[in-house]
Amino acid sequence: MLNQAFAGTGQFAEIRDAVRGLCAKFPGAYWRQLDRERTYPEEFVQALTDSGFLAVLIPEEFGGSGLGVQEAATILEEVQRAACNGAACHAQMYIMGTLLRHGSPEQKSKWLPPIASGELRLQAFGVTEPTSGTDTTSLRTFAKRDGDRYIVNGQKLWTSRAEHSDLMLLLARTTPKEEVTKRTAGLSVLLVDLREAIGNGITIQPIRTMMNHATTEVFFENLEVPAENLIGEAGKGFRYILDGMNAERILIAAECVGDARWFLEKSVDYASQRVVFDRPIGQNQGVQFPIARAFAETEAAALMVREAAQRFDSGQPCGKEANLAKLLAADASWKAAESCLQTHGGFGFAEEFDIERKFRETRLYQVAPISTNLILSYLAEHVLGLPRSY
């Protein structure tokens, strides 16, 4: 029975019910097995694809459901709320926005229908590099125009799902940094067809991480990409990627709210049942208060996610709200994770409770896709008007 305190607003009830129904087929035992072996949740991703959830943002004319970020956020929140892991495929939702907003009519007709039907996966997003880190405009991967193709050389790091995706959205330099007047200029977005590229200019090395995340390192050596796969105009790619980042932050924030609600419900159930010194541990305010605080922070974060998603869908500026949502939700999920582990005492560390797995999974969102410090820096500079620090 679902605890109503963690049910959210009740908005999009049909979507919530449908996602819950799907996720019920992928219980903790399924995820624990994958986690142990560090294998990809193929059946889960296929089920989400078949149900159309991953195509929610693709317009109906291209075979998707033409819904908004509010619905997409609801889907991802419920996935996490059910202790599943949307990180296996969430990127398809926000990466696709770059193609949708900046792709040519030909590119959209070519790529969006097979992505919507699930025939092709667009789940790899190649931005981060080993030497540039968060300083994206210093990235070094270079795509040199040569007639009707680009020749790509360089390296990406943390390119998640590259081994499980057919397409990669790649951000590369097309004009050297020294030759542009603004550091954000001279970067371009290419759609790389990994089916052709692997073994023909691309090598992918998996990186084993503290959670099951299918992340990789990708090496480009004279990779040929048809010039027709350039998205939008050459040199303007940084802006295109930035455009998609608000959606990404809102969706990740929604996942964190889902995580937090799962942790909170687990905490309340256990604290009510576990008897120590002849009374439920939840009767002690030392146990109650961290849970209550994490609950308050989760509900506040959920409101901000909703506000940001509504603004995004109605075309209003939402940089402030998307960043606040990501910051508050990642903090709330981490607090909820911490209080859940503590509430469970030793049992929190046992695999079968799924808490330690979710604890590891939700920790990522303090760092990726953007770290907490960088969000604070955005708020300080762009919202509060404090002096630029970097």
Quick one: how far is CA 329 from the chain centroid?
13
Asked whether position 237 contacts ligand FAD by CB under 6 A, the answer is: no
> 141, 160, 246, 333: which one contacts ligand FAD (CB under 6 A)?
160
Q: Are 123 and 89 in contact (CB under 8 A)?
A: yes
Q: Which of 22/231 has CB closer to ligand FAD? A: 231
Asked whether position 380 contacts ligand FAD by CB under 6 A, the answer is: no
353-362 in b/e form (b: 16+ CB < 10 A) is bbbbbbbbbb
Amino acid at 152: V
Q: Of 71, 77, 163, 248, which is the active-site residue?
A: 248
In the DSSP assignment, the letter for residue 125 is: E
Asked whether position 284 contacts ligand FAD by CB under 6 A, the answer is: no
Smallest distance from ligand FAD to CB 239, Å: 17
Smallest distance from ligand FAD to CB 82, Å: 21
In the DSSP assignment, the letter for residue 369 is: S
> 80, 128, 165, 188: which one contacts ligand FAD (CB under 6 A)?
128
Q: Which of 41/369 has CB closer to ligand FAD? A: 369
With tokens 């986690």, the residue in question is 35
> 81, 121, 173, 213: which one contacts ligand FAD (CB under 6 A)?
213
* Rounded Cα–Cα distance for residues 215 and 164 (Å): 10
Smallest distance from ligand FAD to CB 67, Å: 24
Amino acid at 72: A
Residue whose C-alpha is closest to residue 296's, from 1, 6, 3: 6
Q: Has 248 been annotated as catalytic?
A: yes
Binding residues with ligand FAD: total (CB under 6 A): 22
Smallest distance from ligand FAD to CB 263, Å: 20
Asked whether position 180 contacts ligand FAD by CB under 6 A, the answer is: no
Strand partners, 216: 206
> 52, 66, 371, 379: which one contacts ligand FAD (CB under 6 A)?
371
123-160 in b/e form (b: 16+ CB < 10 A) is bbbbbbbeeeeeebbebebbbeeeeebbbbbbbbbbbb
* Rounded Cα–Cα distance for residues 211 and 280 (Å): 32
Smallest distance from ligand FAD to CB 377, Å: 6
* Rounded Cα–Cα distance for residues 168 and 57 (Å): 18
Q: Which of 72/281 has CB closer to ligand FAD? A: 72
Question: Catalytic amino acids?
Answer: 248
Residues that bind ligand FAD (CB under 6 A): 125-128, 133-134, 158-160, 209, 213, 215, 364, 367-371, 373-374, 377, 390
